């Protein structure tokens, strides 16, 4: 069967995710995959296995089985996003910390059994195997750090004396994607902040109370009106009515206070005298005396100051 290029890539990706799942925390060198058995049969075509082997991501073991190479494991980590999970750097960190303890204060390298590192770090032996194998078989820049001791691959780990330099190095190696993720998250935060800004009064942070669209067919336009809980409102983003906390709120002398007696109460209306004061909508204030009603109206139209926060 011949697949189109996209389908071939999809099938390769599927192979990686099935292999990584089947592998879990076991060592790549002893975990064999049989293309004729679940979960691979019927899912991964023969040409995919051959292509992965050509690329050096898997290698054939015997006539029928395959295993991941160190390079293949790295690609698998990447494709399954395991590398970008929050867990991954923490696991690496635990292993690095265990290794570092062995060379602390030493002038030469330390040789430590893999099994011991697993016990000390609390991480699976197979997973540490994969980590060391993929690091020590990588390109030259990835080759720093712990390696297998002579021919004891999978059993003895050689930790160089200058291993202290390693964490920053490994972090920069594995966090290119991490940085991208942080940038992505920062971008999302900015978007969310933008959205939040649009839904709150820029002066006092009061939330939006209503959004409406008004069609002016004779002018061929639709205007969007947004009102906020504090009274601030905009038309297509331009201020219509000011916020009592904002710089455009009218002064007290821009209002005329008109008080009338209404039964046992006095009712005071603050009427705008200037253009901007007229745009402010004030409810009438009531009091048992004329002075009380007027005092309340004056307080209602007075510009508001934000309460200073205790730590500013
Ligand atoms: Zn406001």
Confidence band for 142, pLDDT divided at 50, 70 and 90: very low
Distance, in Å, from the CA atom of 18 to the CA atom of 66, rounded to the nearest integer, reads 13
What fold is seen in the domain 82-178? Answer: Arc Repressor Mutant, subunit A (1.10.10)
Distances in Å between the Cα of 33 and the Cα atoms of 26, 122, 258 are 13, 27, 89
* pLDDT(10) > 80: yes
Distance 225 CA to ligand 1 centre (A): 15
Render 237-254 in DSSP notation, one character per residue: TEEEE--TTSTTPPPGGG
Read off the pLDDT of each residue in 274-297 and give the average, rounded to a whole number.
90
Confidence band for 178, pLDDT divided at 50, 70 and 90: low
Distance 290 CA to ligand 1 centre (A): 30
Lateral strand order in the sheet of 233-235: 208-216, 221-228, 233-235, 238-241
pLDDT recorded at residue 166: 47
Distance, in Å, from the CA atom of 269 to the CA atom of 256, rounded to the nearest integer, reads 8
Q: Do residues 158 and 152 lie in contact, with contact meaning Cβ atoms separated by under 8 Å?
A: no
Distance 157 CA to ligand 1 centre (A): 65
Spatial CB neighbours of 77, under 8 Å, sequence gap ≥ 6: 20, 83, 88
DSSP state of 37: S
Distance 167 CA to ligand 1 centre (A): 50
Distance 260 CA to ligand 1 centre (A): 30
Read off the pLDDT of each residue in 225-236 and give the average, rounded to a whole number.
88
Distance, in Å, from the CA atom of 287 to the CA atom of 289, rounded to the nearest integer, reads 5
Distance 215 CA to ligand 1 centre (A): 26
* pLDDT(125) > 70: yes
First to last CA, the chain: 71
Query: Which of 31-35, 53-57, 164-168, 203-207 has the weakest average pLDDT?
Result: 164-168
Distance, in Å, from the CA atom of 209 to the CA atom of 159, rounded to the nearest integer, reads 64
Question: What is the Cα 294 distance to its own chain's centre?
Answer: 53
Q: Do residues 226 and 234 lie in contact, with contact meaning Cβ atoms separated by under 8 Å?
A: yes
Give the Cβ contact number of residue 57 at 10 Å: 23
pLDDT recorded at residue 42: 93
Read off the pLDDT of each residue in 76-105 and give the average, rounded to a whole number.
82
Distance 227 CA to ligand 1 centre (A): 10
Q: Do residues 254 and 302 lie in contact, with contact meaning Cβ atoms separated by under 8 Å?
A: no
* Nearest residue to 280 via CA among 237, 238, 243, 246: 243
The tokens describing 309, both together, are 């926060």
Burial of 289 (0-12, 13-18, 19+ CB in 10 A): exposed
Distance 236 CA to ligand 1 centre (A): 17
Distance 69 CA to ligand 1 centre (A): 62
pLDDT recorded at residue 215: 76
* pLDDT(85) > 90: no
Cα-Cα-Cα-Cα torsion 86, 92, 95, 99, nearest 10 degrees, comes to: -140
Distance, in Å, from the CA atom of 223 to the CA atom of 213, rounded to the nearest integer, reads 6
Confidence band for 39, pLDDT divided at 50, 70 and 90: very high
pLDDT recorded at residue 186: 65
The tokens describing 151, both together, are 């021919």
Distance 291 CA to ligand 1 centre (A): 28
Distance, in Å, from the CA atom of 75 to the CA atom of 81, rounded to the nearest integer, reads 10
Q: Which residues surround ligand 1, an ion (CB under 5 A)?
A: 201, 203-204, 206, 230, 232, 243
Distance 244 CA to ligand 1 centre (A): 6
Can you list the alpha helix ranges (DSSP code H) found in the chain? 5-23, 46-54, 70-79, 87-103, 114-121, 125-136, 166-174, 176-198, 275-278, 290-301
Distance 280 CA to ligand 1 centre (A): 12
């Amino acid at each position: 069967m011949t697949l189109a290029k996209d389908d071939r890539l999809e099938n390769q990706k599927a192979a990686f995710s099935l292999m990584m799942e089947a592998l879990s925390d076991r060592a790549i060198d002893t975990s064999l995959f049989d293309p004729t058995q679940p979960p691979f049969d019927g899912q991964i075509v023969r040409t995919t296995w051959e292509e992965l082997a050509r690329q050096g991501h898997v290698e054939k073991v015997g006539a029928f089985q395959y295993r991941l190479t160190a390079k293949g494991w790295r690609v698998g980590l990447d494709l399954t996003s395991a590398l970008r999970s929050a867990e991954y750097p923490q696991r690496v960190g635990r292993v690095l910390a265990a290794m570092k303890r062995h060379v602390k204060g030493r002038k030469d390298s330390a040789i430590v059994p893999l099994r011991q590192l697993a016990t000390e770090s609390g991480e699976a032996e197979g997973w540490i195997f994969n980590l060391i194998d993929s690091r020590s078989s990588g390109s030259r820049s990835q080759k720093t750090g712990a390696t297998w001791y002579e021919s004891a691959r999978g059993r003895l780990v050689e930790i160089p004396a200058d291993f202290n330099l390693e964490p920053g190095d490994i972090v920069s190696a594995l966090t290119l994607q991490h940085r991208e993720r942080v940038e992505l998250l920062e971008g999302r935060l900015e978007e969310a902040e933008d959205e939040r800004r649009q839904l709150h009064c820029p002066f006092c942070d009061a939330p939006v109370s209503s959004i409406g669209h008004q069609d002016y067919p004779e002018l061929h336009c639709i205007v969007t009106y947004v009102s906020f809980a504090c009274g601030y409102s905009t038309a297509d983003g331009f201020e219509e009515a000011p916020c009592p906390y904002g710089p455009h709120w009218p002064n007290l002398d821009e209002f005329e206070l008109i008080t009338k007696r209404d039964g046992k109460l006095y009712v005071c209306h603050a009427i705008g005298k200037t253009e901007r004061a007229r745009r402010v909508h004030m409810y009438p204030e009531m009091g048992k005396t004329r002075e009380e009603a007027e005092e309340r109206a004056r307080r209602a139209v007075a510009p508001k100051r934000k309460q200073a926060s205790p730590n500013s």
